[in-house]
Chain A
Amino acid sequence: MKSKFTWILTLALAFFIQFSFAQEKTITGKVVSKTDAMAIPGVNVLVQGTTRGVQTDFNGSYSIKAATGEKLVFSYLGFKSQTVTVGASTTVSIQLEDDDAQMLDAVVVQGYDVTKTRKTSNVSSQTVSAATIEARPNASFIQTLQGQVAGLNITTGTGQPGGNSTVIIRGVGSINGKVEPLYVIDGIPLNSDNFRSLNPDDIESVSVLKDAGATAIYGNRGANGVILVRTKKGGFDSGLKIKFNSTTSFTSLQDNKYNMMNAQQLLTLERSYGQGRGAVGGAAGGPMTDAEIAASPSTDWTDYFFRTGISQNQTLSLSSGSKNLSSFTPFGFLDQEGILKNTDLKRFNFRSNLSGKSNDDRFNYSTNVSINFSRRNEATSLGTGGINQNFVLGANNAAPYISPSDYTDSLTLQSDYANDGTLLLTPLMLIDKMKTFSNRIDELKALASFDGSYKLTKNLTFGSNLGIDYTQQNSQVYQAPTAFNSLLFLDQNGYLGFQSELFQQDIAISTTTRLNYNKTFADKHTINVAAYTEYFKANFKSISYTQNGLDGKVSGPGYGGGYILDNPDNDFFVPTVGSSKASTGLFSYFATADYDFDSKYGVEATVRRDASSRFALSNRWGTFFSVAGRWNIDRESFMEGSVFDALKLRASYGTNGNNDIVNSTYGALNRTRELYAIGAGYQGNPSTVIAQLAAPELKWETVTQANIGVDYELFNSRLRGTFDVYRKRTTDLFLDVPISFINATSVLTSNFGTMTNEGVEALLTYDILKSNSGLNISATFNGAFNENRVNTVSNESGLIDNGLTATAEDHVLNEFYLIRYAGVNPANGNLLFLDKDGNTTETPDTTDRVFTGKSSQPVWQGGFGLNADYKGFFLSSQFSYVADIYRLDYDLSGTRDRENIGIFNVSNDILRAWTPDNRITDQPSLNATNLSFDAESDRNLKDASYIRMRYVSFGYDVPKKMLENTFLKSVKGFVQAENLVTWSKWTGWDAESPRGNDQYQYPTPKIISVGLTVEF
């Protein structure tokens, strides 16, 4: 909150989080940063994942009425200010597939259902098959993909079951706009990137399209790569197959290395520091004696707020096929407990995939319908300093000499708090919240697609595809009138308890119509030419209300009992209502041509014209293209007898467009027009003020990518892999260009600047041992190097200052921009810093910040693994790593903060604090006078590189022979673990996070599971 740019341009990097009471209720009113009590001018707020874009606040401290509704759910996430770039970075690991034996014969899925073999593919893409995704204990298949695909960064920053992951292909490609790939499931382009409601077991394959040759066919939404998901289908002329998967998982917290104190250690410290119970809790208000300290109970609050979560996951699938019809019908059920109490996800899935054809095979059709319902309880206020709201804060920082048995009920707590007055009773307030607060979200997600094609002639096919993506979220937040938090804020609010409910509906419809011509001449020349039109329209609707004031005897989560009605004395009880609506659309036509000569040479080209509803008439249409080619060198005569079984050289070049000005389907829909808004003005009366300045010249952000790659297999295909080099350049970046505050705002969305991502990706599998009946061992490795550089930015100084990070020419996007920390001054125990000229100082200034060369996007990442099997036993493992990545560890600084002594727990590290007798140390004096510079320095900037045992599985696949005379087709049992061990310098709970800084966040768990798969 240094300036509004902190909100607008960074990856939402906040400063140190301050503790305060926070009130959980619909945020209405002004945008004031509660944490530092600062008004922030000019913020546009958007509720997370929605477009309920209360696109409000133009002038800063006024007129933001954030839409009511629980999904604000704290959403600090919810603070998706329209212009916040979520472009965080991340890590990915990769592990090669172990199930397709001969890579170049493997199937490659490309856009619009074009299927090729590895041999004839011209593009850079990678497919992950069902075997890798099935039966993993992750609610979302995206989490499982981590470590599977070269160049794909997947970072999960929350342990919330079904929590979202950040996915970046080949580096962050946009500053303000959308940075995550387009997802296409069975031909349906999705609006959302959250897959908590989908059953991973339904997935047949996931293909990641990386270079322009592959993505150009999705030119209007494919700028950040495309992930194609195909679900399973039944086969024609096949009998009934039944498959049952069952997995039971146990999730638990990963450890940290903060070295926190127990009650005895903390009380002893408090006694010597002269603050807190240790100093005044003894007889007659004096220091506690050793005996008193020894007698104190000691609570590990981490154990209290976190738990070992137990999860069940079952999928039953039926597939069968007759001559003209095949079907695949799975049912799934998942019940996953989060490691944080009061968090969970339950899910029910149903799917029906049908394929049919006419007798003469000329007419083919398929329908894929899935209906998914999930219900989850989410923790709120994560990552905030809300001591009465954030359970993780309680778990990390609560004083251990407070005991859960100190809590009896809300009223007693209120009077205990009144007697104490400090924040010491934080854990008890959180216990109270666990009992009196709920935040539940139901999601209904339906995906339906129809695809039909008819062969007009032998070579000419006409086809059409219709897809619908329907997502509905109903959420409810309830705080009991008897809750401590209700009682506490009674004076401020005038009412007790509240309930809000939010209904959101998101419907996206896409249709594609195609004409395809395919012919092979003289056995060696194959051409494939196609023309398409595509229509896409998405509609959003939400309704919400908040009722303030409930009757304790009859109210409860989710229904309208006990609403206290408005009365003549005041307006507290008037419910707040909200409603919003938005739509957006795209229209395109495009053509592709593909030529193959004898599987030896191939070229293909795509050209398309795209229009977006986001841009003004004059700039509405964009043209994107790609060309790609290959040379199958192994088919040349001179290669005969070489060690190469396959060798293919590929190259591609092309462009893609991005029309998502901000990272949201429904964000920034009309930026080209100057708009006024009617809102609540003085005395709550309606006001008309300017709300948005026009950016009439807005146009497509364009990504141009060049890629050269090699696919190879050697030594009887025992060694195989790919190697790619790329350069991806984004031009006409969507950027909030600073403008003078005289405009009543300080930024204007524009197309400005360029940014480059250059990198190398390698993928390697080697079969160390290969035998038909005995032991097989194979090793896989992949690695990716990506260098991000901002080439030009908008303002005079060439630097966009985000407070803790800055974006500047020739630097990494959002590079940490901090004062250099130089250790503890042996003379007085103060912190020492370097000013910008490199001289030591105890009082640096903002102007002493320098570029650190470090960012929260990894430069290196990848994975490796070892797979072995022996007579039905199998062992597979995956490790993932990221390197050259840095993040601010504010949990660490918080646990070493002297201000917390007497209120919160601290680390034993604080015992190393400077004293006249201990002058050479890394911890400043407890009386240091310049700690205020800490937050702006790189003292807390830590290396977040890690190597993690992402996955290990051991099991037994009963040999087919043994099942021959039973009704069973296959039986497999296994034990597996996720995130079991991590090697990292990072001291916190979890080295993995998409955020540039972390404090009080919900860490991802480690998971141990056992499972069984039976087919019959």
Chain B
Amino acid sequence: MKNYKVVLLAFISTLIFSCEDAIDIVQPGELYPEVAFQTVDDLEKGINGVYGVGGENTEIAFASIFTDEVRIGLANGGQGLINDAEYSFRLNTGSGYAVALWGQYYSMINFATRVIEGAKNVVPETSEEAQYKNIIAQAHILRAYAHFKLLTYFSADITDDNALGVILLDFIPLTNQSLPRNTNAEIFALINSDLAKVSDLTTNAGNADRFFISNDFVKALKARMALYREDYTTAAALATELIAQYPLTNRAQYPNIWRDLPVAAPATDEVIFKWDRVADDEIVGANWASVNATVTGSPFFEVSTDLRALLSTVDVRRSVIVDASANATVFPVGKYPGSGGLRINDIKVFRTSEMYFIRAEAKANASDFEGVAADLQAVVAQRFSAANTPTIGIPATQQAAWAEILKQRRVELAFEGHRYIDLRRVGPKAGVDIIRDPADCAVNGACTLSSSDYRFVMPIPSSEIGANPAIAPQQNPGYGTIN
């Protein structure tokens, strides 16, 4: 009797575990802010994270489907027509694209700011100082880039310094912070001060590696920014510099750009910057087809009828834009055909041809129509064989000049995410709207959309509005409020 009392008590005592064991639990691998950035190597990982947010996939997808680059494809299963219904010109405060862009670029800004702030606690070894400065410079430049991206899509008038821009963020926010939109001028001031860090770039200053921030990235960004702000003098000057440095890739080598193959003469690689894409990264071509870029790749979108009409069969760009497998009825988007045995393509951001167009716009603005034609011709000349090169006529009026530039941009920059912004910027001046081929819009009746429609500025997403009372009264024109 006594015996099993003892045994029992001994057994029970083993059952009483300590209280702390159950409630003081730290999960393996928790990484706290104070130890996240302690060395220059940590910062390197941090900047890797900032780059990791980059990529224009959303812009490319949205511009192609919402505007007039695609039509409904052979294997469409509802894409573009239901849910977001962007092919039907639907864009509202709940649209996934607006949320994606707003979220993506604020993440980039936030991550970059955390690297910048984290770097303040890191004391680099002498041997690391250049790398250290280089990282901080990249963080600033990417932050500037993200702010500019946001302005591009969410500011109702980027040319007006007093117009509402986006929320300026150069600090690590508190979760309960509610910030209103700043003016464009305020945002540009931050962008410019961030871009000034370019002088600290060391490792890739000369842009040997087109996958990272360089002096020329900043130059190209400034050129585009100046163009969008209609500061044509600055834009043209920067564009001219870049044109000189990065000659256009010729007709023979042009397809290599899109297959991510080296250009035969590296000096003529016209890609100034592209986001590197490796296995497991997002597949740009998946915006239009489930399986691959060929006619049997289950294309749910194809190249639109009227874009195809602009593409002469002897234009090398046709073979890039429309996949080579195209037959008489199916025209898959071919610009992102995969590379290295995988369905992965780098995302091109700045190319020399855009610089020509930037300069052409500056000339159009100055009514230098011959100059416009000359710049456009320079691009075309590298896309056709000498015998077949068409001649760009000299526009008779400013409107005709804008229209010609817009048309050339449409062809050259197709499926690179430009068309939506270009229609908004240049469309009204050029008298160009979205006019889909009747066959392309029979499916939903969405045939035309004026380029001055309110939907050419993105709405502040309703999820931001719901979370941020300060921004609630600052929605862009045309978008109702939900409640």
Q: Which residues of A contact B (CB under 8 A)?
A: 1-5, 15-22, 28-30, 32-42, 58-63, 65, 358, 363, 385, 387, 417-418, 421-423, 452, 454, 462, 464, 466, 488-489, 491-494, 511, 513, 533, 535-537, 570-572, 581-587, 611-613, 620, 669-670, 673-691, 693, 737-744, 746, 748, 795-801, 803, 845-847, 849, 897, 899, 927, 929-935
Among A58, A489, A570, A585, max chain B CB count under 10 A is at A585
Instruction: Give min CB distance, A11 to chain B, whole Å.
Output: 18
What are the residues of chain B within 8 A of A933 when measuring CB–CB? 85
The CA of A682 and the CA of B274, in the complex, are separated in Å by: 12
Q: Are B77 and A423 in contact (CB under 8 A)?
A: yes
Among B15, B85, B93, B282, max chain A CB count under 10 A is at B15
Q: Are B51 and A3 in contact (CB under 8 A)?
A: no
What are the residues of chain A within 8 A of B94 when measuring CB–CB? 2-3, 801, 803, 846
What are the residues of chain A within 8 A of B464 when measuring CB–CB? 740-741, 746
The CA of A493 and the CA of B338, in the complex, are separated in Å by: 10
Q: Are B466 and A796 in contact (CB under 8 A)?
A: yes
Closest A residue to B445 by CB, please name it: A929
Instruction: Give min CB distance, A325 to chain B, whole Å.
Output: 15
What are the residues of chain B within 8 A of A741 when measuring CB–CB? 102-103, 106-107, 461, 463-464, 467
Q: Which residues of B contact A (CB under 8 A)?
A: 4-5, 8, 11-12, 15-17, 19, 21-28, 30-33, 36-37, 42, 45-46, 48-55, 57-58, 61, 74-79, 81-85, 88, 90, 92-97, 99-100, 102-104, 106-111, 114, 167, 169, 173, 175-179, 211, 276, 278-283, 286-287, 290-292, 294-298, 300, 330, 338, 340-343, 442-446, 461-469, 471-472, 480-483
What are the residues of chain A within 8 A of B276 when measuring CB–CB? 682-683
The CA of A744 and the CA of B8, in the complex, are separated in Å by: 56
Among A17, A494, A691, max chain B CB count under 10 A is at A494
What are the residues of chain A within 8 A of B78 when measuring CB–CB? 16-19, 385, 897, 899
Q: Are B343 and A421 in contact (CB under 8 A)?
A: no
What are the residues of chain B within 8 A of A744 when measuring CB–CB? 106-107, 110-111
Q: Are A742 and B104 in contact (CB under 8 A)?
A: no
Additional 14 contacts, C-beta under 8 A, given A20-B75, A39-B104, A572-B341: A4-B103, A35-B79, A38-B96, A492-B338, A582-B27, A674-B33, A675-B33, A682-B48, A683-B51, A688-B36, A688-B46, A741-B467, A748-B175, A932-B90
The CA of A676 and the CA of B46, in the complex, are separated in Å by: 10
7 contacts between A and B (CB under 8 A): A38-B97, A42-B103, A60-B107, A684-B281, A690-B33, A797-B465, A931-B444
Instruction: Give min CB distance, A423 to chain B, whole Å.
Output: 5
Q: Are A493 and B342 in contact (CB under 8 A)?
A: yes
- Once A60-B107, A746-B463 are accepted as A-B contacts, the answer to whether A929 and B52 lie under 8 Å apart by CB is no
The CA of A586 and the CA of B21, in the complex, are separated in Å by: 9
Q: Are A899 and B81 in contact (CB under 8 A)?
A: yes
Instruction: Give min CB distance, A134 to chain B, whole Å.
Output: 34
What are the residues of chain A within 8 A of B75 when measuring CB–CB? 19-20, 421-423
Closest A residue to B464 by CB, please name it: A741
The CA of A125 and the CA of B287, in the complex, are separated in Å by: 54
What are the residues of chain B within 8 A of A676 when measuring CB–CB? 31-33, 36
Q: Are A584 and B25 in contact (CB under 8 A)?
A: yes
Task: Identify B92's interface contact among A63, A675, A847, CB under 8 A.
Answer: A847
Instruction: Give min CB distance, B62 to chain A, whole Å.
Output: 9
Q: Are A61 and B51 in contact (CB under 8 A)?
A: no
Closest B residue to A417 by CB, please name it: B296
Q: Are B103 and A36 in contact (CB under 8 A)?
A: no
What are the residues of chain A within 8 A of B296 when measuring CB–CB? 417-418, 421
Q: Are B96 and A40 in contact (CB under 8 A)?
A: yes
Task: Identify A739's interface contact among B28, B32, B175, B482, CB under 8 A.
Answer: B175
Q: Are B106 and A36 in contact (CB under 8 A)?
A: no
Closest B residue to A899 by CB, please name it: B78
What are the residues of chain A within 8 A of B53 when measuring CB–CB? 59-62
What are the residues of chain B within 8 A of A63 when measuring CB–CB? 49, 52
Task: Identify A536's interface contact among B15, B22, B175, CB under 8 A.
Answer: B22
What are the residues of chain A within 8 A of B465 when measuring CB–CB? 796-797
- Once A682-B48, A847-B92 are accepted as A-B contacts, the answer to whether A688 and B462 lie under 8 Å apart by CB is no
The CA of A799 and the CA of B483, in the complex, are separated in Å by: 7
Instruction: Give min CB distance, A549 to chain B, whole Å.
Output: 12
Instruction: Give min CB distance, A697 to chain B, whole Å.
Output: 11
Q: Are B83 and A18 in contact (CB under 8 A)?
A: yes
What are the residues of chain B within 8 A of A684 when measuring CB–CB? 278-281
What are the residues of chain B within 8 A of A488 when measuring CB–CB? 291
Closest A residue to B447 by CB, please name it: A929
Q: Are B167 and A740 in contact (CB under 8 A)?
A: yes
The CA of A748 and the CA of B52, in the complex, are separated in Å by: 23
Q: Are A611 and B19 in contact (CB under 8 A)?
A: yes
Q: Are A738 and B283 in contact (CB under 8 A)?
A: no
Q: Are A688 and B291 in contact (CB under 8 A)?
A: no
What are the residues of chain A within 8 A of B36 when measuring CB–CB? 676, 688
Task: Identify B52's interface contact among A62, A466, A491, CB under 8 A.
Answer: A62
The CA of A730 and the CA of B173, in the complex, are separated in Å by: 31
Instruction: Give min CB distance, A151 to chain B, whole Å.
Output: 32
Task: Identify A686's interface contact among B15, B45, B107, CB under 8 A.
Answer: B45
The CA of A587 and the CA of B22, in the complex, are separated in Å by: 6
Instruction: Give min CB distance, A902 to chain B, whole Å.
Output: 11
Closest A residue to B111 by CB, please name it: A689
Task: Identify A41's interface contact among B24, B52, B103, B483, CB under 8 A.
Answer: B103
What are the residues of chain A within 8 A of B179 when measuring CB–CB? 740, 742
Task: Identify B100's interface contact among A40, A358, A800, CB under 8 A.
Answer: A40
Q: Are A690 and B45 in contact (CB under 8 A)?
A: no
Q: Are A688 and B23 in contact (CB under 8 A)?
A: no
Q: Are B278 and A673 in contact (CB under 8 A)?
A: no
Q: Are B291 and A492 in contact (CB under 8 A)?
A: yes
Q: Are A39 and B58 in contact (CB under 8 A)?
A: yes
Q: Are B76 and A899 in contact (CB under 8 A)?
A: yes
Top 7 nearest A-B pairs (CB, nearest first) are: A19-B77, A929-B445, A585-B22, A41-B103, A738-B467, A682-B51, A687-B49
Closest A residue to B342 by CB, please name it: A494
Q: Are A801 and B466 in contact (CB under 8 A)?
A: yes
Q: Are A511 and B31 in contact (CB under 8 A)?
A: no
The CA of A628 and the CA of B94, in the complex, are separated in Å by: 48
The CA of A152 and the CA of B90, in the complex, are separated in Å by: 43
Q: Are A492 and B292 in contact (CB under 8 A)?
A: yes
- Once A740-B177, A847-B480 are accepted as A-B contacts, the answer to whether A61 and B466 lie under 8 Å apart by CB is no
The CA of A670 and the CA of B4, in the complex, are separated in Å by: 43
Q: Are B482 and A849 in contact (CB under 8 A)?
A: yes
The CA of A673 and the CA of B25, in the complex, are separated in Å by: 12
Closest A residue to B294 by CB, please name it: A491
Closest A residue to B442 by CB, please name it: A927
Q: Are A682 and B104 in contact (CB under 8 A)?
A: no
The CA of A844 and the CA of B343, in the complex, are separated in Å by: 39
The CA of A688 and the CA of B36, in the complex, are separated in Å by: 7
The CA of A796 and the CA of B92, in the complex, are separated in Å by: 19
The CA of A674 and the CA of B173, in the complex, are separated in Å by: 13
Closest B residue to A610 by CB, please name it: B23
The CA of A21 and the CA of B297, in the complex, are separated in Å by: 9
Task: Identify B49's interface contact among A32, A681, A927, CB under 8 A.
Answer: A681
Instruction: Give min CB distance, A899 to chain B, whole Å.
Output: 6
Q: Are A846 and B92 in contact (CB under 8 A)?
A: yes
Closest B residue to A569 by CB, please name it: B341
Instruction: Give min CB distance, B90 to chain A, whole Å.
Output: 6
Instruction: Give min CB distance, A351 to chain B, whole Å.
Output: 23
Q: Are B52 and A583 in contact (CB under 8 A)?
A: no
Task: Identify B175's interface contact among A1, A32, A693, CB under 8 A.
Answer: A693
Q: Are A688 and B37 in contact (CB under 8 A)?
A: yes
Q: Are B343 and A492 in contact (CB under 8 A)?
A: yes
Q: Are A511 and B175 in contact (CB under 8 A)?
A: no
Task: Identify A742's interface contact among B23, B92, B173, B469, CB under 8 A.
Answer: B173
The CA of A933 and the CA of B83, in the complex, are separated in Å by: 8
Q: Are B103 and A18 in contact (CB under 8 A)?
A: no
- Once A491-B338, A687-B45, A690-B110 are accepted as A-B contacts, the answer to whether A675 and B23 lie under 8 Å apart by CB is no
- Once A60-B100, A678-B45, A740-B179 are accepted as A-B contacts, the answer to whether A931 and B111 lie under 8 Å apart by CB is no
Q: Are A746 and B467 in contact (CB under 8 A)?
A: yes
